[in-house]
Amino acid sequence: MVKRIFVFFVLIFISVSVASSAFVRVKVGGIADGDTLFLENRPNLRLMCIDAPEIDHESGKNQYYALAARDFLWRLVRGKILFLRDVKHDRFGRMLAQAYLPDGTWLNFLLVRKGYAFYFPHKREKCLKILQAQRWAMQEEVGFWKKILHLPCASQDFIGNKRSRRFHTLRCKFGKRISRFNRVIFHSLYAAFYQGYAPARCCTVWPIERLP
């Protein structure tokens, strides 16, 4: 009940705010994956505070749920106008933003809540709301969480970096380099994700999608 009330007020706030001049209006032209869109006459858009499983456009060895995440997002945004808030640019020149549909649907929040993306740490208040969405998704095991939280390695220990908010396997050479001041140990995969840490790309536990 508490979760429903929270989501209700989030949606009410968003619906009222979408009309604000604080939003940047853009049109979707295409999609790269579950967290990146191509815009018409704009730089590419990277959805802020989230990360979706990776699509390998060269080898075809996509991460588990990568295509499902891309397709879900595309069904939501194809040909649509989006309203962007908290717009920044990353080192690749992409736009980083919170994105909303005209009806007020908060895409970043929805993708995480449905288990198509996980929380990617940024120091912003709305990112904490996205972290809460992830915790609900994990508890209900929706989307990719049904498999990810039951991987063979799920009960192992992991090393987290307090500075980068990334976690590594114990065997990862980069994880071993983390200073004791920045190091935190998680005793399960669930614990690492629950605390808002994201898997390090250099030694991720995320499985590759098995093609039929």
CB 175 within 8 A of CB 166: no
Q: Supply the pTM of this predicted model.
A: 0.87
CATH code of the domain made up of 2-140: 2.40.50.90
Domain boundaries in the chain? 2-140, 151-203
The percentage of the chain sitting over the pLDDT mark of 90, rounded to a whole number, equals 79
**What is the mean pLDDT of the segment spanning 194-202?**
93
> Quick one: 59 exposed, middle or buried, by C-beta within 10 A (0-12, 13-18, 19+)?
exposed
Chain segment 95-104, per-residue pLDDT in tens: 999 999 999 9
**What is the mean pLDDT of the segment spanning 86-101?**
93
Query: 151-203: what fold?
Result: DNA Methylphosphotriester Repair Domain (3.40.10)
